[in-house]
Amino acid sequence: MKKIASFTVDHDTLTRGIWVSRCDEVGGDWVTTFDIRMKEPNREPALGQGAIHTIEHLAATFLRNHPLWGNRIVYWGPMGCLTGNYLLMKGKLTPAEIKPLIRETFSFIASFEGEIPGATQSECGNYLLHNLPMARFEAAKYLKEVLEVDD
């Protein structure tokens, strides 16, 4: 089988940040897939399952309800390796264009209090696998160490 593009990225040198994973034309429209890399692969511990699950719920809810960008959000979800998330958006976009949106998203997660959206038994396939304190911690760490660093 032909190797897919994401498996050709050198994970020994990949760093935390916002990266374009791919840009595809779909039905005449462009879709950009962003790699929102929160951990350095194979060099630091992966995100905990409960933390990344909670990040998924909070980020997806925040992004899809965003007043300016909500109609361009296609998908937000965790990577299987638990080192980050994928964000798919309508349009040909760059990391610089969406960095303010990602800052807003991680600020929202870092300060979130209350009930996690969609985290009840009837709404979620694994509703017991959430960890809001660790989601907040990881979001604040990414915000401070990656997103608030000058470009």
Structural domains in the chain, CATH included, are 15-146 (3.30.1360.80)
pLDDT at 151 (0 to 100): 53
Q: 17 falls in which pLDDT band (50, 70, 90)? A: very high
* pLDDT tens track for 37-72: 999 999 999 999 999 999 999 999 999 999 999 999
pLDDT at 144 (0 to 100): 96
CA 108 to chain centre: 13
Tell me which residue of 57, 52, 69 sits closest to 103, measured CA to CA.
69
Lookup: tokens for 100: 């303010």
| pLDDT at residue 35 tops 60 | yes
Q: Which of 4-13, 56-65, 98-107 has the lowest mean pLDDT?
A: 4-13
Q: In whole angstroms, what is the distance from residue 108 CA to residue 36 CA?
A: 16
Q: Do 51 and 135 meet the contact criterion of CB atoms below 8 Å apart?
A: yes
Question: Which residues lie closer than 8 Å to 119 by C-beta, 6 or more apart?
Answer: 54, 57, 127, 130
Does this model's pTM top 0.75?
yes
Lookup: tokens for 107: 């600020």
Q: Average of pLDDT values for 100-106?
A: 98
